[in-house]
Structures are given as structure tokens and as C-alpha cells.
């Protein structure tokens, strides 16, 4: 029942925890697919279970609020903005059992070792992030995080053109920069058919 592993409180998870082993969960998908909502849901449940939770987000994402992670639907959770993986690691407290990380795609490559290290120290690590950039290419370091995660959840948005399952973040403004922080003003969710490929988009799309 692999599905069960994507959610809190499964028997399997409890067993892992009792054995003192940590693990990595990755929540990946396009913009507006509910990654932040799902991250906030898991963190809230961990806090209800009286676990010590710390949440980090890269400083690059200045949307909404600096001290919080926020979903497009308005849910928020407190978080600590950091400018590097090293800064994040230095801020993780001894007593922290659950480490949440939002916008994982904006971290440097050191996040991979850091996540492994946090899990090896018995912690539950939950990373949310975009798995593809606006051209449809894998958004590093998310592919690497997906490959080391014990549990993966792929979230989907709704295509704004046709209502199908959306897997792409269509940039609606004119820019070739990899990172253009924004939300509905700069991007929209599109399905495979309605996504208009960028010049850099891999040909298999
Ligand atoms: P993500 O972190 O993946 O960008 P969020 O968790 O911030 O997503 O936001 C998800 C919410 O965005 C949905 O619950 C819904 O209220 C809103 N939303 C806006 N546009 C869309 C869309 N095209 N498809 C799905 N949800 C959308
Ligand atoms: Zn569509």
C-alpha cells in the first residue's frame, strides 16, 4: 500500500520512528498544485502530535510574508528564511524532530547532503518544491532530492485553459530568467496539451 506512505501516521511511519530512523519526504509538482498546502498540512499534524517542528524557506521567495510560508489559498505556517543550506543546518535545533523545507528548488546543491544528514540523525524531513522550471526542464536540486526520498507525493494543479490535470507552470510574462518570483501575475497552471513550449523546452514535451 505505497499510497499510505504519503500520509502521516501510517503504521510504517510509526515503526520507522520507533526505530529511531529518520526519513525524507518530497512533495513535488507545478505551481498552484498544492505543494505548500500539503506541506502546511503535514507540519500542522506534526505539531498536533506535539513534535518539535522547524520550517525553512529560501530568502529568494519574498512572496506574501518573510517569516511565513504561504499557500496560494491563503494558509500560512511560520518559517525561518535562510540564504543558504549551511545557514539552515546551523539553525536546526537539537530537539527538532521534523524539518520542513519549502521552495526546495531554490536551495543550493548542498541541500542534498543536508537532507541526508538530517534524516540520518533521526529526523523527518519534508521538502516541497517545483520539479520543473518554466520551460519544463527538471529544476535542480529537486530531481536529486526525489531520488533520495523515501516518500514522494506528486501534486497537480488544474489547467486554467481546459480544466485537465496540469503538470506545467506556464510563464505568462516575457522573461528568459530561470527565476522570476511571482504567482498568478507571472505564471499559470497548464496541462501537457495547453502548455506553450518555450524555445528552451526539451523536445519530448
Ligand atoms: P503550490 O505551493 O504548489 O504553488 P499552493 O499550495 O500555494 O500551491 O496553492 C494551491 C491552491 O492554489 C489551491 O488550493 C487553489 O486554492 C489555488 N489555485 C489557484 N489556481 C489554481 C489552479 N490552476 N489549479 C489548482 N489550484 C489553484
Ligand atoms: Zn489544458
> Looking at the predicted structure, is the pLDDT value of residue 96 above 60?
yes
> Looking at the predicted structure, is the pLDDT value of residue 45 above 80?
yes
- Atom 10, ligand 1: residue with shortest CA distance: 34
Query: Is 20 or 122 the better-scoring residue by pLDDT?
Result: 122
CA 85 to centroid of ligand 1, rounded, Å: 27
CA 189 to centroid of ligand 2, rounded, Å: 9
Nearest in space to 130 (alpha carbons), one of 46, 54, 42, 60: 60
> Looking at the predicted structure, is the pLDDT value of residue 65 above 50?
no
Give the residue numbers spanning the domain of 74.
Answer: 2-156
Report the distance separating Cα 90 and Cα 86, nearest Å.
Answer: 6
Confirm or reject: Cβ of 132 under 6 Å from ligand 1: no
The pLDDT assigned to 201 comes to 77
In a domain? residue 183: no
End-to-end CA distance of the chain: 31
Portion of the chain with pLDDT greater than 70, in percent: 86
pLDDT tier for residue 205 given thresholds of 50, 70 and 90: low
Report the distance separating Cα 96 and Cα 92, nearest Å.
Answer: 7
pLDDT tier for residue 94 given thresholds of 50, 70 and 90: very high
- Distances from the Cα of 129 to the Cα of 31, 81, 84, 101, angstroms: 9, 15, 16, 8
Confirm or reject: Cβ of 36 under 6 Å from ligand 1: yes
Annotated active-site residue 103? The verdict is yes
Residues composing the chain:
205
In a domain? residue 176: no
Confirm or reject: Cβ of 33 under 6 Å from ligand 1: yes
pLDDT tier for residue 24 given thresholds of 50, 70 and 90: very high
Buried b (16+ CB within 10 A) or exposed e, 173-184: eeeeeeeeeeee
Report the distance separating Cα 69 and Cα 42, nearest Å.
Answer: 13
> Looking at the predicted structure, is the pLDDT value of residue 197 above 60?
yes
- Atom 6, ligand 1: residue with shortest CA distance: 34
Q: Which of 79-83, 85-89, 191-195, 198-202 has the lowest mean pLDDT?
A: 198-202
The pLDDT assigned to 154 comes to 98
Q: Which ligand is nearest to the CA of 157?
A: 1
The pLDDT assigned to 77 comes to 85
Which grid cell is 52? 518539535
Q: What is the mean pLDDT of the chain?
A: 87
SS3 181: coil
The pLDDT assigned to 69 comes to 84
Over range 153-180, report the average pLDDT: 90
In a domain? residue 162: no
Which grid cell is 161? 485553459
Give me the number of domains the chain comprises. 1
- Distances from the Cα of 166 to the Cα of 119, 137, 172, 192, angstroms: 31, 15, 15, 7
The residue assigned the cell 488544474 is 158
CA 188 to centroid of ligand 2, rounded, Å: 11
Over range 6-23, report the average pLDDT: 58
Question: CB-based contacts of 130: which residues, under 8 Å, 6+ apart?
Answer: 28, 29, 30, 31, 35, 103, 105, 139, 142, 169
Question: CB-based contacts of 41: which residues, under 8 Å, 6+ apart?
Answer: none
In a domain? residue 186: no
Residue 64's CATH number:
3.40.50.300
CA 197 to centroid of ligand 2, rounded, Å: 13
DSSP tag of 185 = T
Q: Which of 25, 38, 103, 188 is catalytic?
A: 103
The pLDDT assigned to 153 comes to 98
In a domain? residue 101: yes
The pLDDT assigned to 62 comes to 53
Q: Which ligand is nearest to the CA of 190?
A: 2
Which grid cell is 63? 512572496
Amino acid at each position: 500500500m505505497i499510497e499510505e506512505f504519503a500520509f502521516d501516521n501510517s503504521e510504517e511511519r510509526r515503526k520507522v520512528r520507533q526505530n529511531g530512523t529518520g526519513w525524507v519526504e518530497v512533495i513535488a509538482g507545478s505551481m498552484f498544485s498544492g505543494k505548500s498546502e500539503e506541506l502546511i498540512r503535514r507540519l500542522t499534524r506534526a505539531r498536533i502530535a506535539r513534535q518539535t517542528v522547524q520550517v525553512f524557506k529560501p530568502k529568494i521567495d519574498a512572496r506574501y510574508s518573510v517569516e511565513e510560508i504561504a499557500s496560494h489559498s491563503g494558509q500560512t505556517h511560520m518559517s525561518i528564511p535562510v540564504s543558504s543550506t549551511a545557514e539552515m543546518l546551523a539553525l536546526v535545533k537539537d530537539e527538532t524532530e521534523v524539518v520542513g523545507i519549502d521552495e526546495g528548488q531554490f536551495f543550493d546543491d548542498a541541500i542534498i547532503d543536508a537532507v541526508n544528514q538530517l534524516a540520518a540523525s533521526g529526523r523527518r524531513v519534508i521538502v516541497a518544491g517545483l520539479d520543473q522550471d518554466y520551460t519544463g526542464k527538471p529544476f535542480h536540486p529537486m530531481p536529486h532530492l526525489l531520488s533520495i526520498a523515501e516518500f514522494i507525493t506528486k501534486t497537480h494543479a488544474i489547467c486554467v485553459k481546459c480544466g485537465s490535470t496540469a503538470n506545467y507552470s506556464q510563464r505568462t510574462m516575457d522573461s528568459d530568467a530561470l527565476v522570476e518570483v511571482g504567482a498568478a501575475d507571472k505564471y499559470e497552471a497548464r496541462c501537457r496539451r495547453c502548455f506553450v513550449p518555450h524555445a528552451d523546452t526539451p523536445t519530448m514535451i
